[in-house]
Structure 1
């Protein structure tokens, strides 16, 4: 199995779990609309779903070089840490693992920056 196929699977799992968690958050978890927990939860699954879609695109471009590969790895870990950290905050409160949320957010930002750099590199190569 090649790495782009693995990325596609991870993206699909992120998308699947984001949609499932979004539905469960609305119907099964007892989150009260408008509360801090409800807003954090909504933020987590929205970011997860958006970045699952980005990861699908990144998987299709994986062989384009270092910056895309770096974006893919930062995105996988960033979504896991950022969204997972928010889910943990909603359901367990502040824990010893709360530090993962801002680190994950930074990794997501880094993945977007890597794609910006990749875009500029491609622009320089085109006549």
Structure 2
């Protein structure tokens, strides 16, 4: 799979993350005691924008391709795990699996650090 295809898939993921973030924000505004949904919404919306930024940095050569892509995918997966776990807890009463939200959160932290590292090794001119 080429780089453009990977970028397109990431952008599609961010569109879904953004839409889900808005849906969860609306749901949290209309349901009593829905603070989990507000947190899930924030994670999806903030990290969707971050993934778009990471793709732009990679494309412009300001971030290393492989490290930057790993970071972007980590942001997508981490935010999805975190938000998915909180959403299931709100609606079903249990999470995805034990430690899903902390696993997603840890992956987000590592992915942010990886994005910073990817800027130390940009594309060679």
Q: Do these two structures clear the TM 0.5 threshold for a shared fold by scoring above it? A: yes
CA RMSD across the alignment: 2.2
Unaligned segments of structure 2, at least 5 residues: none
Change (3 A) 1:31 1:108: same
Note the 1:60-99 alignment, pairs <5 A. Answer: 60-63=56-59, 64-95=64-95, 97-99=97-99
Select 1:3's aligned residue among 3, 6, 18. Answer: 6
Give the TM-score of the pair, scaled to structure 1: 0.80
1:24 Cα deviation after fit: 2.2
On the 8 A contact 2:10/2:73 being kept in 1, the answer is no
Matched, 1:31 2:32: yes
On the 8 A contact 2:47/2:75 being kept in 1, the answer is yes
Give the TM-score of the pair, scaled to structure 2: 0.81
The structure having more radius of gyration, on CA atoms, is 1
Q: Distance in 2 between matches of 1:62 and 1:72?
A: 10
Change (3 A) 1:31 1:62: farther
Q: Distance in 2 between matches of 1:87 and 1:60?
A: 30
Q: Distance in 2 between matches of 1:8 and 1:61?
A: 13
What does residue 35 of structure 1 align with?
Answer: none
1:62 Cα deviation after fit: 4.2
SS at match of 1:6: helix
